[in-house]
Amino acid sequence: MIEHSLALVGFGNVGQAFARLLLRKQAELEKNFSLIFRITGIATGRHGMAIDPAGIDLTRALEIMQKGGNLDELSKTPKPDSMLAFIRTCPANVLFENTPVNHETGQPAIDHLRTALECGMHAVTANKGPVVHAYRELTDLAHAKGLRFMHEAAVMDGAPIFSLLRAALPAAELKGFHGILNSCTNLLLGLMEQGNSFDEAVRYAQSIGIAETDPSADIDGWDAAIKVAALTTVVMGIPLKPQQVERQGIRGITPQMTEEARQVGERWKLVCRARLENGNVIASVQPQRVKPDSPLYSINGTSSYVQFELDVLPGLGIVESDPGPETTAYGLLADWLNIIRGV
């Protein structure tokens, strides 16, 4: 039986979904993987920190978060004075980093993951920032330490995008990809097709938790651009920053434009693209009208889609239907299990 001690940095929607998934899968992990675990630390930005080498009561931690309480009451050690001090203090084998994304620099998540690796922990994240801004640094550091830096959930949640290209398609050369990678804008465009104004669509998306209070990262294409940069950096092996992606959001799309497209059988989509041309990557995020014969046409609501163009497979597509924090949580779990399995 293998016992792992886990530390969680960030305990918002994704972190809590991951905790619930661990509880639900606990018996299965023990039976099928001979694996038992303890959560030895949870750190949040606004709801305190807890460290208990013997294991934190996850059910109690979730109850505290649901009530808007403070996790300090669960701690068995003095409270660290910073997130980095928490990581250095917490006795864990694996760190799961799920703080909010910083599109411009990837911080402070990069420092969290770097510190975990330096302290001898495997590092797993759903955060796109470190993948874009420090992929090579963190991967090399993990290799030097005999550890792993994993990030499957950073793009398309639990869908096996990075691992597909890494493990399942040996000797395949990726020439490019395109798709719909931002679920919020896809939902907004669909609502506008139904006659909602742009502002009405945004308010609805906010009411169901799909759009942030400030939805500009989605609406202006930054979230899509950083996902394009992450895929390009990892699966194409060419470092790319979101600032290098030609970017246009959906603010200029009106209900009149969606109606004009509908009348000729087309739909507006925020389309992400990257293609290798003469050794350089040409990448873009921009709204486009798509016809019914496009795979993008039938991607509805908060679903996502990516199609890869490889030298041996000219069109390989993956659809993720209606993702949420639970699917992102599975991506984190899959990364941890693949570390254990040596995949």
Q: List the strands of the sheet with 2-9, edge to edge.
A: 49-51, 35-43, 2-9, 94-97, 122-125, 149-150
A 10 A CB-CB count for 239 gives 15
Tokens for 234, please give them: 């990892």
Just list the catalytic residues: 227
Rg (the chain; Cα; Å): 21
Separation in Å, CA 141 to CA 115, 137, 138, 224: 10, 6, 5, 28
Concatenate the DSSP letters of all residues of 286-343 into one string: EEEEE-TTSGGGG--TT-EEEEEEESS-S-EEEEE-S--HHHHHHHHHHHHHHHHHT-
Paired tokens of 96: 């799961």
Per DSSP, 211 falls in state S
